[in-house]
Structure 1
Amino acid sequence: MNNMDNPTNLTTFKTAFDVKQWIKAQAKSLGFADCGFLSVHHPLFAQQLEQLQRWLDKGFEGQLKFMHNNHHLRAHPEQLVEGAKTILSVRMDYLTQTPTPRAITDDDFPNQGIIARYARGRDYHKTMRGRLKQLALQIEAMLPQWRHLDLGSDAAFVFRPFSDSAPIFERPIADAAGLGWTGKHTLLLNKQAGSFFVLGELFISLELPDDKPVEAHCGSCSACIDICPTQAIVAPYKLNAAACISYLTIEHKGSIDIKYRRAIGNRVFGCDDCQLICPWNRYAKVTTVDDFAPRHHLDCSSLLDLWQWTEADFMSNTEGSPLRRTGYVSFLRNIAIGLGNAVPDEKVIHKLESKLAIYGDMLDEHIRWAIKEQRSKLYSM
């Protein structure tokens, strides 16, 4: 038996490093692929706030107005959770099937409605926070075994889990904590696992030493920049979110600019192109977490099948799903764009016409655009 498996042996935990190793082992047993540590007082927070302000000054946030709020909490995460001293950064793989790297893209299936791979199963946020809470409770149960160490744990143990649910510099924290490096597409990359994973944080009141960041390995590669359908990656490490298909199909409300519609193709919720092309994703891992398994055939549904969902179907099929975020009418808007970009077919035009003058001017605008695109392609055949 490994001594780290025996929590009653005080000699096992001689340093804070031993405690960290035990926590990392527990994190992996809960389904997290990796775990890193960072102080709430790390200098990166002030640096990131300056970068965020420059990004906002360019108007890259689009309708994400919340990015202008709570800057004091982003810069001072210790104020987010009173008593917190260390942030545990974790990542969780979400692929259920390893994609064919740098070859088959989502454009190869023009009549299929493409849902970003992280969103095909249950909403990961609850799963992430639930497992982080389990990890926190396991840590709390071990505190008596660590009293001989100076971890600042004399007061009552404080913890709070997060997953995209607070003003936190999530990706920079994971970067600084050694979970990977920031790629040119602004997503985190890991040398052994690519980028198909989600991130979460656990704030705790123990004082544990920081992990070290890893070296970046993008080199001269620009594949993610070159393939972006809307050219949203305006330069290495600079993303214009307002032009990103993930933003446009999920966060953006109202009409989508005509200049982006053909580029959106058949993507109805999110976009994985910059990840699919990345050479590091040849090492992407398949998840061990059942919640990411696709539901309601969201990994292989045709655009017409999705178009025929009623609002009741949408509410039923997206219960506990990230797709709820976009709302039914915006979901139809995205599918209408996809149908406009699909292989021309009179049946598609007929189905598009069936939803005119029902859900308002915004959707009608996109339906009429799609019909025009379909007819243009039919007439040119």
Structure 2
Amino acid sequence: MPISTSDAEIDLDKLRAELFRRAKEAGFDDAGIARADARGDLPARLDGWLAQGRHGDMGWMAETAARRAAPATLWPDARSIVMLAMNYGPDEDPLALLERRDRAAISVYARNRDYHDLVKKRLKDVARWLAETSGAEVKVFVDTAPVMEKPFAEAAGLGWQGKHTNLVSRNLGSWFFLGSIFTTLDFAPDARHDDRCGECRRCLDICPTKAFPAPYELDARRCISYLTIEHKGHIALEFRNPMGNRIYGCDDCLAVCPWNKFAQSAREAAFVSRDDLRAPLLAELAGLDDAGFRARFSGSPVKRIGRDRFVRNVLIAIGNSEIPALAGIVWPLLDDASPLVRAMALWALGELGAGGELRARAAAALRAETDEGVCDEWRRLTG
């Protein structure tokens, strides 16, 4: 299937085979191609999801909706989208950590280097080769750009969007990052993958906060990943106990998928869990100031939520720990500069049995407090 360029005639079938070989050499574990116009259903689907408010306070999703759902709007010259997957599979069951009440559970993908930087660098290497070889134009995108990667990866044959809305692969299970190369080359597309979830609903049933209104639907406002990472305010009372010790993200719906029988541990060293992030002590994390937080999570995606939101999450985990001895670490945080921290320190102490002592301080604390969210916590304690 040759095409003409200003330099030479290119056999797209041979180019495609070499492209996939180069991608494997660059560290990608799977590859497929979709047409840029393959998912004409996406604008209506995204608009419906946004109209229901299920994006929560992720305002950027609404702001970029037109470009996100239609690649032609993002780049009109694009003809093909090369979708690439990179495995980050864990070497242990992430669900086991949820039983260790004195420890923090950080989502598997965030236990080492920020994947955006590494995946984008590898994508650029592959895309540069493609452009130099073919003379075609290319653009690369990884997650942060307004591209609906999961539907296009499904269209490219990499897997299917499961009932939890994440992509599932027969080759990689649930544990892989996605990146895309948009190009002006008109490659033949791969066949779209069939849905192989069948009657299984393990991912739906395990969700601690019931974030799935129905199969294949996600209400991000109830998702622990959203609450711990994207949500900037106080976390609603109804979600705190279900969060358990999950302080950054949640892997439950991924971890229970039966297709993980084909998953393998990450072969990229940057995605292997750092020892200090596998099961860190809640007591250590709660005491981090801004400088300590930045040092501890240097190079990690955790760093982007900032110290205040992070400690907010840690305090919820401490409140769920049922370890009264941890209260000693929490008391000083009642005077923290951040209202997010003050509020959850108050809640955690109440959960750990310090309600009587707190009620004795409530009147003075309410007179001095300026944040309504913290005031709500004091009022809840005093009835």
* Equivalent residue in structure 2 for 1:16, among 4, 12, 27: 12
Once the 2 structures are TM-superposed, how far is the Cα of residue 132 of structure 1 from its aligned partner? 0.5
Deviates more, 1:207-216 or 1:65-74: 65-74
1:26 paired residue number: 22
Once the 2 structures are TM-superposed, how far is the Cα of residue 331 of structure 1 from its aligned partner? 0.2
Once the 2 structures are TM-superposed, how far is the Cα of residue 74 of structure 1 from its aligned partner? 2.7
Does residue 1:77 correspond to 2:71, yes or no?
yes
Identity %: 35
1:59 paired residue number: 53
So what's the TM-score if we normalise by structure 2?
0.86
Alpha-carbon distance in structure 2 between the residues aligned to 1:47 and 1:79:
14
The answer to whether the Cα contact below 8 Å between 1:121 and 1:321 also exists between their aligned partners in 2 is yes
Once the 2 structures are TM-superposed, how far is the Cα of residue 33 of structure 1 from its aligned partner? 0.8
Does residue 1:258 correspond to 2:254, yes or no?
no
Counterparts of 1:277-288 in structure 2, within 5 Å, are 277-288=256-267
The answer to whether the Cα contact below 8 Å between 1:193 and 1:283 also exists between their aligned partners in 2 is yes
Alpha-carbon distance in structure 2 between the residues aligned to 1:14 and 1:73:
31
Deviates more, 1:116-125 or 1:273-282: 273-282
Once the 2 structures are TM-superposed, how far is the Cα of residue 127 of structure 1 from its aligned partner? 0.7
The answer to whether the Cα contact below 8 Å between 2:103 and 2:282 also exists between their aligned partners in 1 is yes
Letter in 2 for 1:350: G
Letter in 2 for 1:243: R
Structure 1 residue runs of 4 or more that deviate by more than 3 Å after TM superposition: none
1:89 paired residue number: 83
Once the 2 structures are TM-superposed, how far is the Cα of residue 122 of structure 1 from its aligned partner? 0.6
2:347 paired residue number: 369
| CA RMSD between the two structures | 2.0
Alpha-carbon distance in structure 2 between the residues aligned to 1:71 and 1:308:
39
Once the 2 structures are TM-superposed, how far is the Cα of residue 140 of structure 1 from its aligned partner? 2.9
Once the 2 structures are TM-superposed, how far is the Cα of residue 109 of structure 1 from its aligned partner? 1.6
Alpha-carbon distance in structure 1 between the residues aligned to 2:74 and 2:49:
23
1:151 paired residue number: none
Does residue 1:319 correspond to 2:298, yes or no?
yes
Alpha-carbon distance in structure 2 between the residues aligned to 1:252 and 1:273:
19
Does residue 1:159 correspond to 2:165, yes or no?
no
Counterparts of 1:85-234 in structure 2, within 5 Å, are 85-99=79-93, 104-143=95-134, 156-234=135-213
Alpha-carbon distance in structure 2 between the residues aligned to 1:362 and 1:317:
20
Does residue 1:329 correspond to 2:305, yes or no?
no
Letter in 2 for 1:63: D
Higher share in helix: 2
Once the 2 structures are TM-superposed, how far is the Cα of residue 370 of structure 1 from its aligned partner? 0.6
Once the 2 structures are TM-superposed, how far is the Cα of residue 38 of structure 1 from its aligned partner? 1.3
Once the 2 structures are TM-superposed, how far is the Cα of residue 14 of structure 1 from its aligned partner? 8.4
Q: Structure 2: any 5+ residue segments left out of the alignment?
A: 1-7, 356-383
Letter in 1 for 2:62: H
1:307 paired residue number: 286
Once the 2 structures are TM-superposed, how far is the Cα of residue 195 of structure 1 from its aligned partner? 0.7
Letter in 1 for 2:176: F
So what's the TM-score if we normalise by structure 1?
0.87
Deviates more, 1:337-346 or 1:288-297: 288-297
Deviates more, 1:294-303 or 1:254-263: 294-303
Letter in 2 for 1:34: D
**CA deviation string 1:253-308 (max 9, x = no partner):** 11000000000000000000111111111221211212112336111211112112
1:149 paired residue number: none
The answer to whether the Cα contact below 8 Å between 1:105 and 1:276 also exists between their aligned partners in 2 is no
Alpha-carbon distance in structure 2 between the residues aligned to 1:132 and 1:48:
24
1:246 paired residue number: 225
2:381 paired residue number: none
Once the 2 structures are TM-superposed, how far is the Cα of residue 83 of structure 1 from its aligned partner? 3.3
1:237 paired residue number: 216
Letter in 2 for 1:138: W
1:293 paired residue number: 272
Q: Structure 1: any 5+ residue segments left out of the alignment?
A: 1-9, 144-155
2:333 paired residue number: 355
The answer to whether the Cα contact below 8 Å between 1:89 and 1:200 also exists between their aligned partners in 2 is yes
Letter in 1 for 2:283: L
The answer to whether the Cα contact below 8 Å between 2:174 and 2:255 also exists between their aligned partners in 1 is no
Alpha-carbon distance in structure 2 between the residues aligned to 1:243 and 1:167:
22
Alpha-carbon distance in structure 2 between the residues aligned to 1:376 and 1:345:
9
The answer to whether the Cα contact below 8 Å between 2:46 and 2:65 also exists between their aligned partners in 1 is no
Tell me the secondary structure at the aligned position of residue 177 of structure 2: strand
The answer to whether the Cα contact below 8 Å between 1:178 and 1:214 also exists between their aligned partners in 2 is yes
Deviates more, 1:85-94 or 1:360-369: 360-369
Q: Report the CA distance shift for 1:219/1:91 in structure 2 as closer, same or farther (over 3 A).
A: same
Once the 2 structures are TM-superposed, how far is the Cα of residue 376 of structure 1 from its aligned partner? 7.3
Q: Report the CA distance shift for 1:15/1:286 in structure 2 as closer, same or farther (over 3 A).
A: same
Q: Report the CA distance shift for 1:309/1:296 in structure 2 as closer, same or farther (over 3 A).
A: farther
- Matched residue count: 349
Alpha-carbon distance in structure 2 between the residues aligned to 1:14 and 1:98:
45
Q: Report the CA distance shift for 1:292/1:222 in structure 2 as closer, same or farther (over 3 A).
A: same
1:269 paired residue number: 248
Letter in 2 for 1:18: K
Once the 2 structures are TM-superposed, how far is the Cα of residue 359 of structure 1 from its aligned partner? 2.3
The answer to whether the Cα contact below 8 Å between 1:98 and 1:284 also exists between their aligned partners in 2 is no
Alpha-carbon distance in structure 1 between the residues aligned to 2:71 and 2:190:
18
